[in-house]
Structure 1
Amino acid sequence: MKEKKKIDRREFLKLFGAGTAATAAALYGCGPRGGGPAAAREEVPTDRMTCRTAPTSGDRVSLLGYGCMRWPQLEKPAADGNPIDQQAVDELVDYAIAHGVNYFDTAPVYLQGFSERSTGIALKRHRREEFFIATKLSNFSNPTRENSLAMYRRSFAELQVDWIDYYLLHSVGGGRGIETFRERFIDNGMLDFLLREREAGRIRNLGWSFHGDVAVFDYLLAMDVKWDFVQIQLNYVDWKHASERNVNAEYLYGELQRRGIPAVVMEPLLGGRLAALNDHLVGRLKERRPQQSAASWAFRFAGSRPGVLTVLSGMTYLDHLQDNIRTFSPLEPLTDGEFELLEDTAQRLLQYPTVPCTDCNYCMPCPYGLDIPAIFRHYNRCVNEGNVPRDRQDARYREARRAFLVGYDRSVPKLRQASRCIGCEKCVEHCPQHIRIPQQMARIDHFVEQLKRETL
């Protein structure tokens, strides 16, 4: 599968036009909702973005939030190691703000540590009142008070702001559960410090992002702390279907609703897999709504929950951004029949043997050079497209075998393939989905070697 080309500046400006920034707010959206028939697919509204109100601060937050973990990258990183294409980021941010997007989510660890800086540069060109910035305390490896304070203060410098609108304790629930949480935020006094920062106004809303052990989720909600928001993984596959890697989103969302805490949604596309369904599943969705993308269905699922403040999407390309803006400008909530269709789609998806990787890159870099996300990405894509050969009696077996092997070599250089894994497990502790990565590498490598040995 060919990679998308980077945004051409001239083409971007042609598409961008002279869109006007969204104005403040009607009840349903940030601007006038309007009436009449749905806009043509080529039109991208500038004043119809659906917004939700944060109960603590009263912020009117765009239901589409910009996840800054997947900014466009240069073919070759800069001399300081920065891989981000700043011009492309500036253009995407300009377009997003002009079309009503006002929530930008980043972290100190994203994109080799350069996401905050790049996001700050792009947003600095806009009035501070035009956007809300979210970042995190990502003190995974060395959570001493000194290191945690340095990370917190560096975020202000990198983002070039005097206050942070939404600050999160990053990736709560992993490691040794409650013990790890206490080491990162309680024993070093950081939670008390952040609560004082909220009182001082340097943090406007304080929350946390959750991955992993439900006991930690329940523990935090039982604490004597007023949480302003919580970030959870929510999509139509994870909604009802528990697994070793994730808690039912229905439970997480329900507990937050019961306490009046708004949810920020991450992974609405389950690492992109809900945007890359196989032809059969896409066809079933198209029967209902011929003009909507598979991704739009997943975003509508997340946005249809009234307790959701914003739905994050890591939009690397302009066409992704435009499609998502259309979906939320304004949001058309799912009907009961559409909820049922997506639950049936989830049941069918669970029959496919995909790896539950969300392409977050927390496992990287691998000390032995593997490109772990790329290996999983190729395997999952082939599963979704029906190019994982199983039965030699299948008429498509030869074609599928060739597509898998050729695509594997094109997607992942040989020195970065699964065969290089030695099982050191350094990646496992960083995976928020709790994937047993070395075992999956061994399984995929065994599968590849079997295909290579076969003679047809």
Structure 2
Amino acid sequence: MKEDISRRDFIRIASEGAALAGATALAGACAPKETAAELARKEEDPSAGKMEMRTNTGNGDKVSLLGYGCMRFPMKKDDSGKDIPDQEVINRLVDFALLNGVNYYDTAPVYMQGLSEEATGEALSRHPRNEYFIATKLSNFSNYSREASMKLYNDSFRYLRTDYIDYYLLHSLGRGGLLNFNARFIDNGMMDFLQGEREKGKVRQLGLSFHGNQDEFDQLLALHDKYHWDFVQIQMNYWDWQHADGERNVNADYLYEQLDRREIPIVVMEPLLGGRLASPAASVANRLKERDPQASMASWAFRFTGSYPRILTILSGMVYMEHLQDNLKTFQGFKPLSEEELEYLSKDIADIMANYPTVECTSCKYCMPCPFGIDIPGIFSHYNKCINEGTFPQDKEQENYAQLRKAYLTSYGRAVPADRQADHCIGCGECLSKCPQSIPIPSQLQHIDRYVEKLKRGSLHL
């Protein structure tokens, strides 16, 4: 069935039929290890299972609008002090998500320092295979050889404990344009191989995830007639709708319009912009609270993205149960935003956010591990958090400067250990090619280090 209605008609229809929009819920039988608490919650919550579903117009899949991004699963320390997936907690999160209708799970060989696929496979394999969709990727960034690429492909099946993959992506295309695409997938024969796997059904849908500029996007989309992209994954949120960096990223309104015109289903990554839209600056949060005191900041961002009908699923990396529960409130009985609300977020609110000098880091951790042990995403996260919360010391003439200075230095030391802070960056540049946002990481770290040193010396003047 083709989705050829306008976005305005979609909002009207969805609003009128919100109570009927959550068909195709997962049955309780698909969760063999449900706890008593989960079963009780299902009985108590009348909306449980009424997840907003979208139809993949290419193959008829009924996909939950809320997808589970498995890049940020919770970790714990093993006996040797090494970070490993907290499998028991991950299992509980996946059980609860499935119980409440979330059936799309997105992972990749490089997520969680290479541990995500195995953790995802262990959690999902405890449930019937036909009750969920698996998405993973060919992350052959550093070694383009056919041997290395085939190993990644075959390992995914083994780690995910499956004999077919529902949604398979060529990972992070865009940087380097067609030269990079040809090196990673054409010259080594992988594109021909994957098309053959799609014909056999081992790969049910073949697509790509995009990070790059407009020219690079247009080049990849021009290949649609030749390779047929079953779906495309893009970064989309109310900030990136019209405020993306034109040199490094593309405004999401352009990406959406081009894909919608070709009727290509869209998977959305970073709907919360690495958490920044879930914890925006106080000036932004206050305005949104005035409009709806009960709505969470995250719900505004999710409803913005989900209000566009070509969106198949929206990925969220839900680390804690409270994140999952809050997101379920948004997607069960989903209510699209009005035209006025969409414009208010993408223009008025985004314009306010433009005045805050945050680093455009989404905490994806592709840059990790740093060879010198620097906690790159931790440093950026702390810096952004202080700016958004209004606890950012700017000048010695600033009111409460002394308190703000002390609070920043104290919180920085607690958030990032001294031996992993920005002053240890030597500018080797190994992180640059790994960042999907094309952030000039060494220069940003040096900027933060200079800022911290001025705070320590009491010589800050911005």
> 2:351 matched to 1:358?
no
Q: Distance in 1 between matches of 2:138 and 2:314?
A: 20
Q: Give TM-score, length-normalised by structure 1.
A: 0.89
| Residues 1:450 and 1:43: Cα distance change in structure 2 (over 3 Å) | farther
1:69 aligns with 2:71: yes
The Cα shift of 1:278 comes to 2.2
1:435 equivalent to 2:439? Answer: yes
Bigger proportion of residues as helix: 2
Partner of 1:4: none
Is 1:322 the counterpart of 2:325? The answer is yes
Q: 1:28 aligns with which of 21, 37, 40?
A: 21
Contact 1:30 1:62 in 2 (8 A): no
Deviations 1:179-205 (A, max 9, x none): 111100111111111011000000111
Query: CA-to-partner distance for each residue in 1:214-254, whole Å, 9 max, x for gaps?
Result: 32221221111111100000000000113133110111111
Match runs of 1:200-349 below 5 Å? 200-223=200-223, 224-243=226-245, 244-342=247-345, 343-349=347-353
Matched to 2:407, the amino acid is A
Is 1:372 paired with 2:376? yes
Q: Which residue of 2 aligns with 1:422?
A: 426
Instruction: Measure how far apart 1:282 and its partner are.
Output: 1.1
Farther off after superposition, 398-407 or 151-160: 398-407
SS of equivalent to 1:121: helix
Is the CA contact 1:56–1:228 (under 8 Å) kept in the aligned structure 2? yes
Change (3 A) 1:112 1:78: farther
Q: Deviations over 1:102-141 (max 9, x none)?
A: 0000001111111100100100110111100000000000
Query: Does residue 120 of the first structure (1) align with residue 124 of the second (2)?
Result: no
TM-score, length-scaled by structure 2: 0.88
SS in 1 for 2:113: helix
CA distance in 1, matches of 2:95, 2:166: 19
Shift of 1:45: 2.7
Deviation at 1:281, TM superposition (A): 1.4
**Structure 1 counterpart of 2:407, from 403, 421, 427:** 403
**Structure 1, residues 253-289: CA drift from partner, whole Å, max 9, x if none?**
1100010001100000001000111222111111111
Q: In the aligned structure 2, how far is the partner of 1:233 from the partner of 1:420?
A: 31
Match of 1:5? none
Write out per-residue CA displacement over residues 346-380 of structure 1, whole angstroms, 9 at most, x where no aligned residue.
11001100000000001111111110000000000
Q: Do the aligned residues in 1 keep the contact of 2:178 with 2:220 (CA within 8 Å)?
A: no
| Partner SS state of residue 271, structure 1 | coil
**Distance apart, 1:55 and its partner CA:** 1.1
Give the 3 Å change call, closer, same or farther, for CA 341–43 of structure 1 in structure 2: farther
Structure 2 counterpart of 1:424, one-letter code: C
CA shift at 1:208, angstroms?
A: 0.3
Partner of 2:105, secondary structure, is strand
Which amino acid in 2 is paired with 1:387?
A: T
SS where residue 321 of structure 1 aligns?
helix
Name the structure 2 match of 1:52: 54
Between the two proteins, the alignment pairs up a number of residues equal to: 421
Q: Residues 378 and 416 of structure 2 are in contact (CA less than 8 Å); yes or no, is this contact kept in structure 1?
A: yes
1:35 aligns to what? none
Check conservation: 2:259, 2:265, Cα contact below 8 A.
yes
- C-alpha RMSD over aligned residues: 1.8
After superposition, the Cα gap between the structure-2 partners of 1:299 and 1:79, relative to the gap in structure 1 and judged at 3 Å, is same
Partner of 2:141, secondary structure, is: coil
- Equivalent pair of 1:44/1:325 in contact (CA under 8 Å): no
Structure 1 pair 27–230 and aligned structure 2 pair: CA distance change class (3 A): farther
Give the 3-state SS of the residue equivalent to 2:84 in structure 1: coil
Output the amino acid matched with 2:334.
Answer: L
- Quick one: distance in 1 between partners of 2:285 and 2:139? 37
Q: Secondary structure at the match of 1:357?
A: coil
CA contact (8 A) 2:54 2:65 kept: yes
Distance 1:396 1:200 in 2: 66
